[in-house]
Amino acid sequence: MINRIRDIRRQKRLTLADVAAACVPPTTAQTIGRLETGTRNLSLVWMNRIAAALEVEPELLVRGEAAEQPRIIARLIDSGADALTTPRDAVLPTALGSEGTLLALAVETSAGEYRGGDQIWLRQLPPESFARLLNRDVLAPRPGGRFAFGRLIDRDDNRVALLPPGPGQRQIIVEAPAWLAVAEMLVRKL
């Protein structure tokens, strides 16, 4: 099994000390470093503790050696493409989030910054999370099996207001949605 703790930690822009402090109970950055490099065995207990600290599913921390995995081999900087000294596993951003169910929205007609053929991956969140979704694109369920999609511009206990992505469209008010799904990743074929 190949340990992907370092790759996930780096993609989440966390330090060893950040992960160590987020563990329950807290541990040391040195211990996390040893677990990442394999100088200390990654037990199931440690796997669960670190997964909780990184807010990912425990099985995301390891992969089989035979499985071909997408790799990050370079980074784009001001001077151009720069090779990484050590390639690392590419973990989808959607896999890095732990709360809420993943949903996908297919874009068939261009609207705003979205083009026909795009896929918008969203994470479904409960009403208590709505306050942190302001000014983000969301999908909201409506009565009769319909949906509304747009930028969340206002909310209170009983309603949310969305501004659709197309130009010149009026805001949509959705009364007491059971959930909102926030746009997390855009997939566009080149």
Structural domain range at position 183:
99-187
Please give the chain's pLDDT, 190 residues, in tens.
678 899 888 888 899 999 999 999 999 999 999 999 889 988 999 999 999 999 888 888 887 766 677 778 888 888 889 888 888 877 776 666 667 788 899 999 888 899 999 999 999 999 998 999 999 999 999 988 899 999 999 998 789 999 999 888 899 999 999 999 999 889 998 8
Kindly report the backbone phi and psi dihedral angles of residue 121, in degrees, each rounded to the nearest multiple of 5, phi listed first: -95, 130
- Supply the CATH number for residue 103's domain: 2.10.109.10
pLDDT at 25: 93
Q: Which of 81, 83, 65, 63 is nearest to 73 (CA)?
A: 83
What single letter denotes the amino acid at residue 172?
I
Q: pLDDT at position 57, please?
A: 86
Q: Is residue 162 part of a domain?
A: yes
Is the CB of residue 185 less than 8 Å from the CB of residue 136? no
**Residues 15, 144: Cα–Cα separation, whole Å:** 47
In a domain, 53, yes or no: yes
Distance CA(62)–CA(41), nearest Å, equals 12
In the structure encoding, which two tokens stand for residue 113, read together?
Answer: 């910054």
Residue 76 lies in a domain: no
- 116 and 53 together in one domain: no
pLDDT score of 80? 86
Domain-ending residue, one of 67, 87, 109: 67
pLDDT for position 148: 94
* Total of domains in the chain: 2
**pTM of the predicted model over 0.75:** no
Q: Determine if the peptide bond prior to 25 is cis (ω within 30°).
A: yes
Q: What's the confidence (pLDDT) of residue 174?
A: 94
